[in-house]
Amino acid sequence: MFQSARLKLTAWYLLIIMGMSIIFSIAFYSVTTREVQRLTDRMEYEVKDPYNPFFVPPPITQQRIEDLEESRQRVLFSLIILNGIIFFVSGGGGYFLAGITLRPIQRMVSEQHRFVTDASHELRTPLTATRTAVEVALRDKSLTLTNAKKTLESNLEDIASIQLLSDDLLRLSQFENTQTSIVSGKVAIQDVIVSAVKKVGVLAKAKEITINQKITKQFVKGDTQSLEELFVIFLDNAIKYSSKESSILITTKRTDGHLLIAIEDTGIGIEKADIGHIFDRFYRAEKSRTKNNAEGYGLGLSIAKKIIEEHKGKVKVESEIGKGTTFTILLPAIS
């Protein structure tokens, strides 16, 4: 598809350049021809004998007229050669430029394609589980009400999981397709963190995890809702990947022009080899998938990364297996 688009674009480049070149050449050639004609006419007139129709111009003038005619032909020849060179150079250059022009579009399309493939793949697992459970229950002639309820409960869990995934996918695609910046207002980071902590309160309570805060009143330019979502993602992970009765610490620090917000947990930690991938879509470290049994699709940190990028910020991860993880978010601060 992209090869034919590249050829078509090259053809358009070529058509425009050659069109201009040919028009210019025709104009140049007609001016030259007219000029040669004018000079020839003048020479013939100067040496013409009006009383002698058989008069032949002297050889020197004849030679000059022939030289002029030869120059006209040489101009024509040079223009043809020049147009040939322009054709090949602009063809090659156009093909190269068409490749450069189409490269970001090609990258975007293959990214979208990968997104759809990954999303369908992830959706298929809970959908297949739901379908199989329903089919088995329907085939079971001696299905009791208790077993039917159990099947429905398991279906409900799968549906909740699909809903979670589709919500995350929708959010991620919103960030990927956004054309206008959502970052506009002055946001008090303390308020955002407090409300994010409140949102994950139930999860923390269930694991008896304490969330400590050492935060000062600082402001950033941003979107309250997205920033709240950002801290919910980091706090949710910190709770998910920590053991019971542990603690999480949130600190803020102001450096020149920036605000550093650190979320520190004492959980399972991340392998060095995984750290470079955790912000990739659908990436889950082996440990989190198997041992920890924590729910998730590996989309949280991709969404977090988009939010941070949207706010012109940065994120740093420090982790040690068995000791814990610290995510440090750097956002441009305003006073």
Residue 270 or 333: which CB sits closer to ligand ADP? 270
Inter-CA distances, 323 with 6, 268, 318, 320, Å: 53, 6, 11, 5
Structure token pair of residue 73 = 């032909």
Residue 250 or 333: which CB sits closer to ligand ADP? 250
- CA–CA separation, 161 vs 186, rounded Å? 35
In the chain, what are the helix, strand and coil shares in percent, each to the nearest 5? 65, 15, 20
CB of 315 to ligand ADP, least distance (A): 11
CB of 153 to ligand ADP, least distance (A): 23
- CA–CA separation, 196 vs 218, rounded Å? 16
CB of 144 to ligand ADP, least distance (A): 36
| Residues recorded for the chain | 335
Q: Residue 274 half-sphere exposure, CB side, CA atoms within 13 Å?
A: 21
What residues line the site for ligand ADP (CB under 6 A)?
A: 237-238, 240-241, 265, 267-268, 270, 278, 283-285, 288, 296-302, 325
On whether the CB atoms of residues 232 and 226 are closer than 8 A, the answer is no
Residue 131 or 323: which CB sits closer to ligand ADP? 323
- CA–CA separation, 270 vs 317, rounded Å? 9
- CA–CA separation, 90 vs 84, rounded Å? 10
CB of 324 to ligand ADP, least distance (A): 7
DSSP character at residue 257:
T
CB of 327 to ligand ADP, least distance (A): 7
- CA–CA separation, 174 vs 188, rounded Å? 24
On whether the CB atoms of residues 225 and 231 are closer than 8 A, the answer is no
Residue 71 or 292: which CB sits closer to ligand ADP? 292
Residue 305 or 311: which CB sits closer to ligand ADP? 305
Give the residue closest to ligand ADP by C-beta. 296
CB of 262 to ligand ADP, least distance (A): 12
Residue 90 or 236: which CB sits closer to ligand ADP? 236
CB of 181 to ligand ADP, least distance (A): 23
Residue 63 or 163: which CB sits closer to ligand ADP? 163
Structure token pair of residue 168 = 């995350």
Question: What residues pair up with 255 in beta bridges, in sequence order?
Answer: 258
CB of 3 to ligand ADP, least distance (A): 36
Residue 111 or 286: which CB sits closer to ligand ADP? 286
Residue 79 or 285: which CB sits closer to ligand ADP? 285
Q: Which helix (H) or strand (E) holds 138?
A: helix 59-139
On whether the CB atoms of residues 217 and 259 are closer than 8 A, the answer is no
Structure token pair of residue 293 = 């049994």
Structure token pair of residue 80 = 């043809």
CB of 148 to ligand ADP, least distance (A): 31
